[in-house]
């Protein structure tokens, strides 16, 4: 019996030593595994809708917690929208801003020219002449959505192949060929998001311009809104300044939303390079003439490659746009 107990003790001690060895060997590996899982977390990276400015500011998107779904447009303090200073232009013509898919005419061209550029909301749509650090100049479109804030495409304010942020932008509200009925203002600063400036992701291709003159108080501005629903009913318009038409002339076409995802809206409304930054808008029952998106691309953009498309205004993007609208000047 004593011999049996001795063997049992030896066996027990041996088992304990083995367990101790295994635990000691496993703990460092467990610690390494845990460390590896926390080295890079998505929360440590800036969300793609995080704000960046041309003067070096970066703000995370989740810092803003606005909850409203839209803002109405405003027809301007000058109720007739009368031109304040009509300027006849004689300037060099520039190509439309560079982008992967500049815009497309799908089948027969359905666009018509807008000659009444001094009526609202047309006078709040702007023709942009953009100069980049490369020295190259291009044209785009945009729209006032506040007294001194113009929404446009991200690639109209930031192009890495052209040196990054635009160095100068002229903003012509309601331009009509060689006539600039409200003259022009210039860029004070520009805005976009890291999804575009850092990653070049077309899903985050949107931005804005803060202008030196508050011409929105004269020409008025668009409403803008977001919605959780993927049902975009009614007639929408794309209206801006295409590069395949007479320089500086405004063109428009309307149609229905064909496809939707979390970041974009697709349609068969014709466009062309130079219309990047145009409002994708309708006459909303609550917000008036209001944008649901910013036109940015022609056919070829996945997953609906046979349609033109706009960057969709989501809740986060609405918050960003409102932040830009309220950004301190100067």
- Angle among Cα 7, 9, 11 to the nearest 5 degrees reads 70
d(CA 263, CA 80): 37
At residue 25's C-alpha, the angle toward residues 23 and 31, to 5°, is: 90
Active site residue 276: yes
Q: How far apart are CA 229 and CA 160, in angstroms?
A: 34
Catalytic residue among 155, 198, 295, 309: 155
Q: And the tokens for 160?
A: 């890495």
For 254, phi and psi rounded to 5 degrees?
A: -125, 165
Tokens at 39, concatenated: 């080295």
Q: Which of 96, 104, 192, 276 is catalytic?
A: 276
Per DSSP, the residues of 78-91 read STT---SB-EE---
State CA 74 to chain mean position distance.
Answer: 22
DSSP bridge partners of 151:
143, 208
**Strand 288-297 to 223-225 pairing:** parallel
**What Cα–Cα distance (Å) separates residue 326 from each residue in 50, 63, 75?**
16, 15, 19
**How is residue 3 written in tokens?**
């011999």
CA pair distance 18, 10, nearest whole angstrom: 12
Catalytic residues: 155, 276
């Amino acid at each position: 019996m004593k011999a049996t107990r001795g063997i049992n003790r030896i066996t027990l001690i041996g088992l304990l030593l083995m367990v101790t060895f295994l635990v000691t060997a496993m703990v460092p590996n467990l610690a390494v595994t845990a460390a590896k899982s926390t080295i890079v977390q998505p929360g440590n990276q800036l969300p793609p809708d995080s704000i960046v400015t041309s003067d070096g500011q970066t703000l995370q998107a989740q810092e803003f917690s606005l909850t409203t779904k839209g803002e109405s447009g405003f027809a301007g303090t000058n109720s007739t929208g009368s031109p304040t200073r009509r300027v006849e232009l004689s300037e060099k013509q520039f190509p439309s801003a560079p982008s992967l898919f500049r815009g497309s005419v799908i089948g027969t061209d359905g666009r018509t020219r807008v000659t009444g550029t001094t009526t609202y909301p047309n006078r709040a749509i702007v023709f942009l002449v953009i100069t980049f650090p490369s020295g190259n100049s291009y044209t785009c479109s945009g729209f006032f959505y506040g007294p001194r804030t113009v929404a446009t495409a991200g690639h109209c304010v930031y192009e890495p192949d052209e040196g990054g942020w635009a160095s100068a932008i002229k903003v012509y509200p309601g331009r009509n060929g060689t006539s600039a009925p409200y003259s022009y203002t210039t860029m004070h600063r520009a805005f976009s998001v890291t999804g575009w400036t850092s990653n070049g992701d077309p899903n985050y291709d949107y931005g804005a311009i803060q202008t030196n003159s508050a011409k929105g108080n004269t020409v008025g501005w668009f409403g803008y809104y977001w919605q959780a629903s993927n049902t975009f009913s009614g007639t929408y318009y794309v209206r801006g300044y295409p590069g395949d038409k007479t320089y500086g002339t405004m063109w428009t076409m309307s149609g229905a939303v064909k496809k939707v995802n979390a970041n974009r809206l697709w349609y068969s409304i014709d466009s062309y390079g130079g219309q990047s930054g145009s409002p994708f808008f309708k006459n909303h029952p609550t917000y008036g003439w209001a944008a649901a998106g910013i036109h940015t691309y022609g056919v070829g953009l996945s997953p609906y490659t046979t349609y033109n498309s706009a960057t969709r205004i989501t809740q986060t993007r609405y918050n960003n746009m409102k932040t830009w609208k309220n950004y301190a000047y100067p």
